[in-house]
Amino acid sequence: MNTTPLWQHHAHGKLLITGEYAVLDGALALALPVRYGQSLRVETGEAPNRLLWNSLDRAGKVWFKAAFTGPDFTVEHTTHAPTSTRLQQMLRACRAQNPQFLNDGAGYQVFTQTGFPREWGLGTSSTLIALLARWAEADPYEVLFDTLGGSGYDIACAFAEGPLLYRLDGRHPNVQAVDFKPPFADQLFFVFLGKKQNSREGIQHYRRHKPEHADLIENISTITRQCLQCREVHEFARLLLEHERLIGEALGLPRAQDLYFPDFPGVVKSLGAWGGDFVLAAGNEAPQDINAYFRKKGYDTCISYADMVL
């Protein structure tokens, strides 16, 4: 078999600093591409009209395999049916946009590899969609909307070179690169709670509980704009706290800080699906003391802003 890649690329993971849930309804959100991501490599396969799929974790161990055949990506065999079904949907969505995608009768083998633990929630699915769509020469936002759903901010982060503002207008994403380099970045940490959340379930909860007035969208958008202007950590923390109050009231859920870190000298803000994945800690103390606080609490994955953000 020829192991020379026919195509390969890498996509960045993401974190949503402001706008979680509200971004679905048009709120302006601040998103950050991160240093961790996923790669996709395409090689020539041995069997014609057959796609062999291999998903590797960051240690290089295969955690999922499947084989697809025929023009409709029929699952020939798989190690995990739900994953192969979701992947099949993505492949079909790419084919719908580009009928020539994987339609030449040749055989292919694909290898994907994440550069972070999959439970971190930095965008295993979104980076995959971005990579698949780029390979297929399809619109990644349309592939997302036709399969997983969501706002698309994670797609915007996949190939971004730095922080961005994101707003969704119907199915039309608006992306603007911004210069977000807070002078207090050394007092910001991303802490993994160890409770992987399902983003789709979080969205459904928001849909059931969100308020009917439009003030939430405008208030979140205002906070996003103000975050870009902050020069002091206490100003940034105040905005994060207000953001938590607004989203907490919309969801009818307690804040992560109240649940896990009530004595933290600063603000802890949920990122993405509430109650899991990463939180952002903005502390008033020295960076080493902030880090020590979370490690003493048993949260060993405490990553500095500089080590996380692209």
**At residue 48, what are phi and psi to the nearest 5 degrees?**
-70, 150
The pLDDT, as a whole number, for residue 1 is: 43
**Cα 109 off chain centre by:** 25
Domain boundary among 177, 203, 219: 177
pTM comes to 0.93
3 state SS of 169: strand
Confidence (pLDDT) at 213: 58
Range of the domain at 296: 185-308
Question: Is 57 found in the same domain as 11?
Answer: yes
Q: Which residues contact 169 (CB under 8 A, 6 or more apart)?
A: 26
Are 84 and 114 part of one and the same domain? Answer: yes
The reported pLDDT for the residue numbered 201 is: 59
Does one domain contain both 147 and 209? Answer: no
Q: What are phi and psi of 229, to 5 degrees?
A: -95, -5
Q: What is the pLDDT of residue 281?
A: 98
| Other Cβ atoms within 10 Å of 42 Cβ, number | 18
For the chain, the domain total comes to 2
In the chain, alpha helices (H): 81-97, 124-136, 140-146, 153-158, 199-209, 215-227, 233-251, 256-260, 287-296, 305-308
CATH of residue 228's domain is 3.30.70.890
pLDDT at 253: 86
Averages of pLDDT over runs of 10 residues in the chain (310 residues) are 83 96 95 98 95 97 97 96 98 97 96 95 95 98 96 97 96 97 97 71 60 81 98 98 93 90 96 81 95 95 97
Domain boundary among 143, 177, 211: 177
Distance CA 213, CA 285 (A): 38
What are the b/e assignments for 123-159, b being 16+ CB within 10 Å? bbbbbbbbbbbbbbebbbbbbbbbbbebbbbbbbbbb
